[in-house]
Amino acid sequence: MKTCKKTKTVLMLMLIALLSTLLTSCNMKETGEGEESSGAGSDTSQENESNEPSWTYEGSGALKPDEKREIVTVSCDPSGRIEKIISEVSLKLKEDESKKPIEDISNLTEIKNKKGGEEFDVQSGKIYWENLGEDIEYEGEGREDIPVELKITYSLDENEVSPDELEGKSGKLKMRIDYINNTAIPFTAITAIFFPEGILKNVNVKNGNLTSMSSQDVVIGTALPGLSKSLNASENEVLKDVDIPEYIEITADCQNFDMDFSTTIVKNGIFADIKDSNDIDELVSSMADMRKAADSLAKGATSLADGGSQLKEGVNKYVSGVGTVKDGIHAMWEGLYALDSTSQTLIDGATSLNDGIYALDSYIGKLPDVLPATLDETERAAMENMLGELKSQIEVLYTGSTNLKNGVTQYVGGVSTIGTSIPDLYEGASTLHSEGSNLISGAASLASGSETLRDGMITFRDEGISELADFVEKDLAELDDRIKKLKKDDSGYTSYSGSAKDVKSSVIYIIETN
């Protein structure tokens, strides 16, 4: 497969610029206090055996560079198998006139100075550079694993083929790049694949797109390898429907297949801009309070519904009793003289009835004060309005009961006038009975309304607050914890070849296939 070196260089610069835009927070990190940082490995005890230094570090004190920047270029065959790793390192020096040697850490071999004439010496796993007052740029070969590797597969007409077998063939092409993250650290990978113009037709790219550049077709794709697994996305309600790209797949009709090269830029720092916050912890705490409040509301509504049911049953019994009284008055009207011997019993009954209605009226008057405190203003107003209507009906009953009592008293006081009083007495009892239907209706409405409120509050608690709390306490809190851990791991990854403590360092990987 062909390679255009000039085009490759231009493309590499473009991809680095693009990745820098996506990861604006990926500034160089300071290595943690009291520890040495490395990327794929930090076997700093490895001595450089390829260059015998003519300059020797005398152990008289050394300076650490202000910054260490590293670009790791990984050469692969067309299937993604690694053939060679070269790391280019830049040591930025602090302003210092002492000209003390520069101390660095590196697990690279075959180290070569690329810029100046500084010599170096390897002692106890550290590299000491001669200080000529200039920044130091060197390169070496890497032996450690890189954090993200490529696995590239090809198929033609649904049959998997090797890159060599595919060369010059025509048919239905499928090319897939899987990104294998060998760490628990989140990385972003941007890949550009160059094809000679006209080779591919009807191109479809999963997790990328097709563009043209310098008479070539270029597929550019982005992936976040390993992120879905690290976030447990498939089991999390927040992320289960989010498609986190893990690969690039190209399908196309190809004619005399040929591919120039591909370049992949790999960089960490996805979560660097996310600031730590206590908001999720506070939200979880608030959800626990909401659970308790919803449970109290549901219990209060249940108590109100039970009271409404009891009131309805009592009113039904009362109205039934009024009907019995009315029938009794009618019977009394027909057997006036027979009732004369039982006049005192009638007085006692009428008095008890009057007292009972008065007690009921007093009970209804107190109900607004014992309504559950969990009711909102609208519910409370509705309940108070219903109780007001009920009280009005009872007051009508009380008036009729008073008339009944007075009538009985008049009967006892003067049997001679009973005959003329009975019609009024009967009319009062009839009024009580007829108004009883309204009282029954009001009590039924109160009972029905309280039951509806109870059912609504229980549903609100079980299907609203409880589900929301479960979501916050489980899925959202778990995601927050995972992001915090990934951010911590991410901030600690600053170098491939190794970096001394207190040195700002950064690393970027360029994976090339030819």
Q: What is the pLDDT of residues 11-23, one digit of tens each?
A: 555 555 555 555 5
d(CA 505, CA 89): 10
How many Cα atoms are found within 13 Å in the side-chain-facing hemisphere of 345?
7
pLDDT of residue 476: 59
Mean pLDDT over each residue of the chain, to the nearest integer? 76
pLDDT of residue 445: 64
What pLDDT, in 10s, does the model give residues 76-117? 999 999 999 999 999 999 887 688 999 999 999 999 999 989
What pLDDT, in 10s, does the model give residues 191-208? 999 999 999 999 999 999
Q: What would the mean pLDDT of 376-392 be, rounded to a whole number?
A: 74
H-helix segments, 42-183: 163-166
Rg (CA), the chain: 45
pLDDT of residue 464: 47
SS3 126: strand
Is the pTM higher than 0.75? The answer reads no
Q: What would the mean pLDDT of 136-159 be, rounded to a whole number?
A: 97
For the chain, percent of residues with pLDDT exceeding 90: 35
Report the 10 Å Cβ neighbour count for 96: 12
CA angle (36 as vertex; 72, 20 as ends), nearest 5: 40
Handedness of CA 57, 58, 59, 61 (dihedral sign): negative
d(CA 164, CA 79): 10
Examine the pLDDT at 27 and tell me if it is beyond 50.
no
pLDDT of residue 451: 63
31 or 486, greater pLDDT: 486
pLDDT of residue 202: 96
